[in-house]
A = this chain, B = another copy of it.
Amino acid sequence: MADITRALVPWDELREAAPDLRAGVYDGVAAPPADLSGVEMYVLPYAKEHGPELIAGMPKLRVLQTLNAGYEELLPLLPDGVTLCNGRGLHDASTAEHALALILAAQREFPKWVAEQREHRWTREHTGSLADSRVLIVGYGSIGAALDVRLAACEADVVRVARRPRPDEGVHGVDELPALLPEADVVVLIVPGGPDSAGMIGARELALLRDGALVVNVGRGPVLDTAAITAETASGRLRAALDVMDPEPLPADHPLWDAPGVLITPHVGGGSATFYPRAKRFVAAQLQRFTAGRALRNVVVGG
């Protein structure tokens, strides 16, 4: 019995977190342990193609832990009675930081400086700024709050919007968007996915923005109508800085790639270096809770 692997984790250093579980390691790249028959808790590899297919070889599985916030694609693979936990909160700092980086890169015209550097040109021209700008955060949850702290430190004027108003937190409801959009210099979309939010920011909403306003999307691609933002940036009226897209990847022949004032990053907001220590601390604590029979965090199915 002493050798039975009771947990499978993606990082070697997590094996020490709960020695009783005799955790094996599967990072989604190298081969997993041969015998998975004793695995009771499986922490999926992060941002790898492989992982979920091993579930079928784990008859004793009790807990499946994903490090993503989204988990819809795991539901069809989840055996009856198995608890599913997600990675809600682990990406907050990374995603908020990426949103800030996109805003600053756009306001301070970094794409232009990168192009100038490539040509060995030193042409001083003054740029916009984030300080003294009004930033609308649409979809004000935990990532929005993390971004808010950063924007306030940058002397921006932050306006908070969520699906339902929360007056005690200074959060407006989305029904107020028609009045709020015309006053914004920057609009940051951090809206969750799903049919309710698809196309939430389309041609009509974009038309309400000031000339030169910046649209940032770090949430879910379909929230922003791709054709509408392509039209508004191709004309030069609006600017955009987008980490998520509809569809992903953006097809190589799509006109948005070359539209002026558009900055594109390939859905890398949540997974920067700062994610890993947070994810490892979280998983170590989950393993310890599992060993001790205590309640797990971030349970989204069962529990």
Contacts and interface: CB of A to CB of B under 8 A. Distances in A.
Interface in A106-139: 107-108, 110-111, 113-117, 120-132
A120 to B, nearest CB: 4
A98 B108 contact: yes
Interface stretch (A52-60, A78-86, A151-159, A292-300): A151-159
Nearest to A267: B124
In the complex this chain forms, how many copies of it are found? 2
B127 A273 contact: yes
Contacts of A150: 150, 153-154
Interface of A: 47, 93-94, 97-98, 100-101, 104-105, 107-108, 110-111, 113-117, 120-132, 149-150, 152-155, 248-250, 252-254, 257, 262-268, 271-275, 277
A255 B152 CA distance: 39
Interface SS of chain A: helix, strand, loop or mixed?
Answer: loop
A126 B104 CA distance: 20
A101 B128 CA distance: 12
A268 B97 CA distance: 23
A273 B101 contact: no
